Amino acid sequence: MPDLYATLIMENPEMRRTVFAMACMGMLTSASSALAQTPDPNFYYKLSTQFLGENMPMDVFDGGRRNNQARLNNDQNVSGQHWQFEPMRNGSYRLRTEFAGPGMCLDINSSTNRPELRDCGDLTGQFWQIRQSGEWMVLTTTFGGRNMCLDIDPDSNQPELRRCGDYSGQFWRLQSTGERVSWPPTR
């Protein structure tokens, strides 16, 4: 039977073009999915949610009682909104800002489930995973596991880990700034 299909495809130019086009579409779809899931560690990204939109990317507090805590803030050209994804083991990433530099990584505060910048270390709250969900990304940590997604507290505009669900605050967009990282990745 396989020989019959091969003969039909080879003898029919229209069928050959259709099969070739379908194979190309499959390769392009696979390549674009892989590219969407693999941030380039040599460039900074802005992270925004479906919930608040691209005009409210993730930033960090600079000073005060919330110093180094993550928040969503008005879009500005500031270094606290420029995030680097450094590839780690098992497909995880460390997230660092241009503002704080290579020694500070986004970590989960275990008492609040909220991310904040802390000294980089071998800590499960600093190992972030990215999953594609349609045109959006979902962010989880090794600390929280696959069922705890980075979401937005609508009262404070601060991100926190919450049970994963179909919530617009859990759908993230990673938009390259086009700006190269100013320090070499540590790994």
The pLDDT confidence band at residue 4, using thresholds 50, 70 and 90, is very low
Cβ-contact 99, 182 below 8 angstroms: no
The per-residue pLDDT for 46 is 98
- In 3D, which of 42, 33, 53 has the Cα closest to residue 180? 42
Please give the model's pTM, rounded to 2 decimal places: 0.79
Measured distance CA(59)–CA(76) in Å, rounded: 10
Measured distance CA(62)–CA(64) in Å, rounded: 7
Domains annotated for the chain, with CATH where assigned, are 2-34 (no CATH), 40-180 (2.80.10.50)
175-185 burial: b if 16+ Cβ within 10 Å, else e:
eeeeeebeeee
**And the tokens for 58?**
């993730």
The per-residue pLDDT for 12 is 65
Residue type present at position 142:
T
pLDDT in tens, 42-77: 999 999 999 999 999 999 999 999 999 999 999 999
Q: What is the mean pLDDT of the chain?
A: 85
Residue 39 has pLDDT above 70, yes or no: yes
180 HSE (CA, 13 A, CB side): 3
| DSSP state letter for 18 | H
pLDDT in tens, 84-125: 999 997 889 999 999 999 999 999 999 999 999 999 999 999
